[in-house]
Structure 1
Amino acid sequence: MKIHRTSSFKNPVQDHLWFRNWVERLEMANGRKYGEKVIHTSLGKTQIWTLKDFDPKKETLLVFPGARTTVLFWDLDKNLNALVDHVNIFLVETNGLPNLSDGNTPDIKGNGYGSWAKEIVDNLELDKVFVAGASFGGLICMKMALVCPERIHTVFLLNPGCLQPFSLRFKNLYYNLLPIFSPTEKNVRKFLYQAILCYPHHSLSKEAEQLLVDYEVFAIRNYKDNTQKPYDMGMELTGVTVPVYLLLGDKDLLFPYQKSAKNAVDSFSKLQEIKVFENVGHGIETFLPTFLYIRDTLIKSNKNNDQ
């Protein structure tokens, strides 16, 4: 696979240590120890987190994070407790994002990320998986669906960044650019409160919020981000032949939900359902009812397979 761009931490040893300390803080908050797997892929080292020992009797869920996040955001406030008893979970740290995976990336307009995702499934020796992705991770899911649909049961797209262009509305641009130009804790909180969360309905505990804020400040200040951003995949999505569930927040400033919903109806031949959560921002992967919805869908799918 051709490497198109490479991102990196400014001080890899020091910054990796900071990240591991952050993971330890999350583990203490959640009362669990994350397992680790390192897979060598065409993009270099890929870091994967697990919650429990693999159970061959259960189906498997592969999770991809949003841009400028770690996939461990999915377990803030122990949200993955809703899923862990029902499915094996592999939390994939996407290459090119500020995490412990290497920073190499393919051209985002090609299918390189899809081939990379297939490598992960092959390396984990999984036949077929459920796949979930938030924002940038939603685009990764779609690339995988185009490359190896036979390896996917169902895709869960959470406020995906592939159904429309990034919003250029003034409010969205202002709150997204504010912490980039001035990466202070105060500005990161403004961004989170206005674009990612939606208080009081979509909120985090004080401890989880502080973890999120600390990570974002760290990532903006210490990561040389050359990774391409998600784009509107348009007609490419008509080639997706796997079942798709679309989960949207009605307060998403980055990708307003109405347009995502319309484009999904126009694009996906196997669109199963569109679920819109009221008073939920872009960071839908931090919202517990999202996980309860996925859990109920997985249980229903398992029952249908048993019949």
Structure 2
Amino acid sequence: MSIQWFPGHMNAARKKAEEAMENVDLVIEVLDARLPMASCNPIVEQLRRFRNRPCLKILNKSDLADPAVTEAWCAHFDAQPDTTAYAMTTKKPADVARIIPMAKKLAPHRNDATKPLRMMIMGIPNVGKSTLMNALLKRRVAKVGDEPAVTKTQQRIYLSNEVVLIDTPGLLWPKIELPSDGLMLAASHAVGTNAVIEEEVAEFLAGLLLQRYPQLLTARYGFATAGRDAVGVIEGLAAKRGFKLRGGDMDYEKAAHTLLLDYRSGALGRISLETPDTRTAALAAHAEAMRIKQEQEAAAAAARLEERMRGKRGT
């Protein structure tokens, strides 16, 4: 399943972000610590690099992610120019308090009321931008909800005389190239429910958990994972929880939904859907698939051309 979700308001948000970027000193990109690259918007990278703006990449929800994997991702981002990575959770005020000092280090030339530090907060839908805004300001100024695309307009807020925050709507990109990225985003609730088939997303998640965190499935649901595939995991969950439809058939849809909710809430444990190594492998596999596809399309086009030429010679 190829997942794509780019509502009309996102295109408008992209244009406004592009306009505002000229007058911004620093970009704070909020990522999901469980899928840092899949939740890293290439539009954000394009806009901020065009203006040569440094970036503080916040790996939010780090309390839900695998700690060792998060550490590897922070090292990965820190190795990039003009980039600092910071893993945190908005549930801890001490984590939030470190953001402004880190941001000031990335833009030391903007440090007083005459030249306030202007920061734009960007990220995909439902990654925690609004919650972060409220935590930084220590009051509720941004609407928060467990649904993607809650924020739809850009707003400018003064944290102090020295720091200005520009909040932006959650922004995806028009075409998600890697199918696995779309599935990871959907599993993490960054994509509108009308764009996904929940059972397929749950099967993707179950397959990944079987490969990397089978012990968490056993601990949560009480069945052994040996010999099971992704569908078998969801069926096992349904059996253990007694999810049945009228007539006694298994309620597969409810079991799939439960698996996704348990992952999203952290009830399954601390899980990372991708690592720097799996990301490299996925990109290589995608590039090879695209190369084969292009070769096949070129061969098919050549065959069609040859067929037409034979037809002309025959006449």
| Higher gyration radius (CA) | 2
Tell me the TM-score normalized by structure 2: 0.30
Scaled by the length of structure 1, what TM-score is found?
0.30
